[in-house]
Amino acid sequence: MPAQSYSLHIGLNAVDPIHYQGWDGQLLCCGNDANFYYELAKKAGFTSSNVLLTQAANSESLVHHLADAAKDLKEGDLFFLTYSGHGGYILDLNFERH
């Protein structure tokens, strides 16, 4: 059986202001980045390729696509994930500071 390949491309052109102290985090090109990598994966012959853009790029959709990939892919298969958008940080409460 030939190797399977799955790609998932996420582009967030905005963030939820509630989580960014009121800042809406508007970006212009992250969706374009995700679509570029989606097209690249299709041209490379990936078995399955998907794009999640701003509103559709929620945790439920992400978990759904990751679960599908985990279910379908086996050893030797390929998973290609890209993300374009804002990052952030949270305090690691498990890390002891000395």
How confident is the model at residue 23, as a pLDDT?
80
Tokens (6 digits) for 14: 């905005």
pLDDT band per the 50, 70, 90 thresholds, residue 67:
very high
The model's pTM is: 0.81
Closest CA to 47 of 8, 7, 9: 7
- Rounded Cα distance between 62 and 58, Å, is 6
Contact present, 81 and 58 (Cβ < 8 Å):
no
pLDDT band per the 50, 70, 90 thresholds, residue 88:
low
Spell out a b/e string for 15-26, using b for 16 or more CB atoms within 10 Å of the CB, else e.
Answer: beeeeeeeeeee
Q: Is the pLDDT of residue 95 over 80?
A: no
